Amino acid sequence: MPDTARPRPLPTSASYAITVRIYAKPSASVVGALATAVGHAGGLVTAIDVSESRADRITIDVTCSAVNGEHAQEIVEALRAVDGVTVHRVSDRTFLLHLGGKISVEPKVSLRTRDDLSMAYTPGVGRVSLALAAHPEDVAKLTIKGNSVAVVTDGSAVLGLGNIGPGAALPVMEGKAALFKRFANIDAWPICLDTQDTDEIVRVVRAISPGFGGINLEDISAPRCFDIERRLRAELDIPVFHDDQHGTAIVVLAALTNALRCVRKSLASARIVIAGGGAAGTAIVELLLAAGAANALVWDREGILSPDDATLNPAKQRLAELTNRHRTRGDLHDALRGADVFVGVSGPGVLPAEWLPDMASDPVVFALANPDPEVDVDAAQQHAAVLATGRSDYPNQINNVLAFPGVFRGLLDARAHDVTVPMLLSAARALAQCVTAEQLNAAYIVPSVFDPKVPQAVAAAVREAALGGVERDRGIE
């Protein structure tokens, strides 16, 4: 066995954690040998437990983290090679966590007696239903509607996995629902639709909308997602929020606000390059422009998006018209020369780290493709003044959970009917301000997702913006 641990190109991750059950002959040295084997294979031991001891055999559970599935198998083989041990079973901790799903429904009221049943269900519930038929404006107050969100997907653009369908998307939507509950005490329901027809999606969501206080569109491919959101916003009287667009945009704007503070530059003067003209890239551009950005270029597979490129689809044509006033053409390297900011929402490896010195001094680099960023993170750290990714194993994770729970908490509390740009800007401003001047530095431009102040601050900002909009609509200043 070699004397040094095998180097790994990426850090180990709890998402690839395994527990290996091993049978071994009783020995004082076997535990140390197992730990050494995992280390030499490049894994990270998190626990070694002797779960059973007999005169002829001990049972040992070795829990460790790997880089990916292939690496996990390498660790198992390294353990299997230790003298005197037998690998009995390998359990993937991530799959174990998902067994039976991650969410459930529980009653909020006692159902122990006949009186309880008569009030919660028939005949007492009939009185409430008749009251709501007469006063439908009270539905949100007397039902779960006032605290419920539908998390809707068609499975066409799930994480970085592509068009994997509604069944495969369900674990992601369950996770989203769990985050709603954990961070904002909102009851969210995963709705996975077995259709990718735009008209059908709009029809189904419209039909189920009476039971929800808001709609969170999730993992629907562009450009269909734009049309679906636009039509639902026009047809429904509850807020419709596409998290892949607006949640991402809120967190990027908040993070960029603080990153530019670190390098003493302003949003209005910064030259910004966005890699990726899909749902997230479009929303980021629109919110940055609304916040005061004045100089942006978008690069996608067609090159720098330019209004005079007749090959662009309508969504990218509009994006080009919003950004590229001088009709600049070229590749990503051309766009980056002299730029202050790079925001990547595209794909892995599109940005060679050796291009970063061609940016302006103290460049800000947001490489947000997940799980593999646009640029080699370790190499980029040598050049970027501020670096952010979508990964949890590097500083400055741009994570939508910083935004969407608080945004919907504020929308539901205000009984809002829609989502507006002022609400999004208010959410981004509140999120940025969760990092105090004393805390702010190049490695801390966004707060922790577990900071309880974050959803509260975002919710308060959205609620105030929503109620302020209602008052302005009524002529109240």
CB 72 within 8 A of CB 18: yes
pLDDT classification of 8: cutoffs 50, 70, 90? very low
pLDDT at position 468: 87
pLDDT at 469: 63
Tokens of 337: 């020369």
pLDDT band at 10 (very low <50, low <70, confident <90, very high): low
What fold is seen in the domain 13-98? Alpha-Beta Plaits (3.30.70)
Q: How many Å apart are CA 203 and CA 197, to the nearest integer?
A: 10
How far is it, in rounded angstroms, from Cα 426 to Cα 246?
Answer: 12
* Among the ranges given (2-11, 76-85, 147-156, 213-222), the one the predictor scored with the smallest mean pLDDT: 2-11
For range 304-326, the mean pLDDT: 92
- The C-alpha atoms of residue 231 and residue 225 are separated, in whole angstroms, by 10
Average confidence (pLDDT) over 252-270: 97
432: pLDDT strictly greater than 90: yes
Give the residue extent of every domain in the chain: 13-98, 122-238, 246-472
Distance from C-alpha of 381 to C-alpha of 442, rounded to nearest angstrom: 11
pLDDT 10s digits, 292-305:
999 999 999 999 99
Per-residue confidence (pLDDT) for residue 394, from 0 to 100: 87
DSSP state of 151: E
- Residue 139: the pLDDT is 95
Q: Is 23 a catalytic residue?
A: no
The catalytically annotated residue of 16, 145, 176, 316 is 176
Q: Under CATH, to which class is 122-238 assigned?
A: alpha beta
Is 145 in the active site? Answer: no
CA angle centred on 38, ends 33 and 39, rounded to 5°: 95
Let me know: does 304 contact 337? Beta carbons within 8 Å. Answer: no
Flag whether pLDDT at 2 surpasses 50.
no
Closest listed residue to residue 7, CA positions, set 44, 40, 33, 46: 40
**153, β-bridge pairs:** 192
- State how far the Cα of 413 lies from the Cα of 421, in Å rounded to an integer: 18
What is 246-472's CATH number, 3.40.30.10, 3.20.20.100, 3.40.50.720, 2.170.190.11?
3.40.50.720
Catalytic-role residue among 121, 141, 181, 453: 121
Top-confidence residue, 10 or 228: 228
pLDDT in tens, 455-466: 999 999 999 999
User: Which residues neighbour 273 within 8 Å (Cβ) at sequence distance 6 or greater?
Assistant: 296, 297, 298, 299, 332, 335, 336, 339, 341, 342, 343
Average pLDDT over residues 356-364: 97
> Does residue 5 carry a pLDDT above 80?
no
Closest CA to 377 of 356, 394, 355: 394
pLDDT in tens, 30-65: 999 999 999 999 999 999 999 999 989 999 999 999
- 13-98 and 122-238: identical CATH topology: no
Given a cut of 50, is residue 476 above it in pLDDT? no
pTM of the model: 0.88
